[in-house]
Amino acid sequence: MGVKISNEKFFDRVDKGIKDTFMRKAVSEAQSRLEGRKIEVTEELGNWEDWRDLSEEIRQHTLENLDYYLEQFARNVAKQGGHVFFAGNAEEANDYITSVVKKKNAKNIVKSKSMVTEEIGMNEALEEIGCNVVESDLGEWILQLDDHDPPSHIVVPALHKNKEQIRETFNKKRQYDKTSDPDELAKFARQELRKDFLAAEVGITGCNFAVAESGSVSLVTNEGNARLATTLPETQITVMGMERIVPTWKELDILVTMLCRSAVGQKLTSYITGLTATKEQGDVDGPEEFHVVIVDNGRSKILGTKFQSALQCIRCAACINVCPVYRHVGGHSYGSIYPGPIGAVLTPLLEGYEDYKELPFASSLCAACTDACPVKIPLHEQLVEHRRIIVEQEGKSSFGEKLAMKGYAFGASTPSLYQMGIKGAPTFINTIAGKDGDGKGAGPIKLWTDIRNLPKSTGQSFRKWYNNREKGGND
């Protein structure tokens, strides 16, 4: 799939999102539910801010020593018979993965949920060499069946779909003839997926956290699908973003609970899987061959910049779950597999500004995201930094805006000019606003008055009142 999920223009996508009343209802309900549950399980800890500080420290330390921990991790995987491949970009990652699959003569692949495999377009690369790739996360499976509808949320990918739509997809694609009762739908999915699990020669997973000290991979799910995908197939391939690593199991312990609490409001999810190396003598299951693909794909160039902390992200979506913009436009409006505040920060870093220059501006900078982030990424500040780069380095602001901002800055640093401006402002506003306050004006004022009235600027100005008073005049 790749990062980009749409060729439509930003405002067309937004317009579509706003008009999708079902999606918006689903999103606002999910936000309230997830946020409510999160508040419950974080308040229960009693000192959530201390946990955030600690988590931030762990992530910062790991990123500052990323080379060390990656090397330690790779050494430990290799020591236990696993294979590690460092992929500089999507193409290198896909080349390696397809070569492993070809060597195994594998045709059937079962996958657990992984954003990085979406990012590099791995499914398409495998399908091109004739493989049948099946998503086993329920949400991802629904989207895959529905002609590869893109995910709209990084934790709940099919958030934008309701049970009726899911029933229809199952019916059209798999001749499902029962009701839209969620239990019945899930039972059907389980039956269908079981065949794919049993047939798979290769299981591919993402990676929530790699553990450097033991060369292990940990996976967090509620469905147990990652466990099964790493138990039945002979070969396991784990694909991870290069920043998804912790030094030891001690740090894993902390970050896993931060992830579960922040993502879905659970202390722990139903399955937390820790996998180390291959099947040993006497083991009844587990893979015989284990590969880890560590993907850079633009991440290393973020290190050492003002955006480094964006790599602290543990993909919990807490920022998405509180974002008022996401609430109204939905995930697809972002045009990226990474939506919401973290998506608006990360997408331009990975893919450049050309296709995503609106994203950093699609925020009121309300900072709800920054407050929600369990690893304390200053998301709203990073959006402002993107804006600065877009204006000052990329030169992507319009001529009109440049002129307006120059004029503004000159006016706001020249008191005589400013005072002239504010003296004229009430007359100006009243003229535009008209008798009822709903006049139109031009430029930004026209946009403002498209949906709102201007303030009623009647009566004495503050400066006049203050001057009179200083002169000893009456109020």
Partner 1 sequence: MKVSLFLTCLADAAYPADVGRSTVEVLERLGCEIDFPKNQTCCGQPAYNSGFHRETRDVAKHMIRTFEHADYIVSPSGSCVAMLKEYPHLFEDDPEWIGRAKKLADKSYELTQFIVNVLEVEDVGAEFEGKVTYHTSCHMTRLLGEREAPMKLLKNVKGLNFTELPNKQQCCGFGGTFSVKMLPISEQMVDEKVQHIEETNADILIGADLGCLMNIGGRIDRQGKSVKVMHIAEILNSQK
User: By the criterion CB under 8 A, which residues form the site for partner 1?
Assistant: 11, 14-15, 18, 324-325, 328-329, 361-368, 370-371, 384, 386-392, 397, 401, 405-406, 408-415, 418-419, 421-422, 425-426, 429, 437-438, 444, 447-448, 450-455, 457-466, 475
Look-up of token digits 């195994």: 104
187 vs 402, beta carbon nearer partner 1: 402
What is d(CA 200, CA 400) in angstroms, rounded to the nearest whole number?
58
Order of all β-strands in the sheet with 108-111: 83-87, 289-295, 235-241, 202-205, 108-111, 132-135
261 vs 386, beta carbon nearer partner 1: 386
108 vs 430, beta carbon nearer partner 1: 430
Minimum CB distance to partner 1, residue 409 (Å): 4
255 vs 362, beta carbon nearer partner 1: 362
Minimum CB distance to partner 1, residue 238 (Å): 37
What is d(CA 97, CA 86) in angstroms, rounded to the nearest whole number?
12
**313 assigned binding-site residue:** yes
Minimum CB distance to partner 1, residue 432 (Å): 12
**369 assigned binding-site residue:** yes
Minimum CB distance to partner 1, residue 360 (Å): 8
178 vs 456, beta carbon nearer partner 1: 456
All residues at 6 or more sequence positions from 386 whose CB lies less than 8 Å from its CB, including other chains: 344, 345, 348, 353, 359, 360
What is d(CA 75, CA 129) in angstroms, rounded to the nearest whole number?
31
Q: At 47, is the secondary structure helix, strand, or coil?
A: coil
Minimum CB distance to partner 1, residue 295 (Å): 30
**131 assigned binding-site residue:** no
What is d(CA 315, CA 317) in angstroms, rounded to the nearest whole number?
6
Q: Residue 414 has which token pair?
A: 């020249």
Task: Give CA separation, 29 vs 14, 68, 265, in Å.
Answer: 19, 43, 15
Which residue from 205, 151, 99, 187 is spatially nearest to 317, judged by alpha carbons? 151
Minimum CB distance to partner 1, residue 24 (Å): 8
Minimum CB distance to partner 1, residue 425 (Å): 4
Give the helix, strand, coil percentages of the chain, each rounded to 5.
55, 10, 35
36 vs 182, beta carbon nearer partner 1: 36
**319 assigned binding-site residue:** yes
Minimum CB distance to partner 1, residue 100 (Å): 44
Q: Report phi then psi at 233, rounded to 5.
A: -65, 150
Whether residue 380 contacts residue 358, with contact meaning beta carbons closer than 8 Å, is answered with no
Q: Residue 315 has which token pair?
A: 């993909």
**316 assigned binding-site residue:** yes
199 vs 365, beta carbon nearer partner 1: 365
19 vs 284, beta carbon nearer partner 1: 19
Q: At 220, is the secondary structure helix, strand, or coil?
A: strand
Binding site residue list: 313, 316, 319, 323, 366, 369, 373
**Residues forming the annotated binding site for [4Fe-4S] cluster?**
313, 316, 319, 323, 366, 369, 373
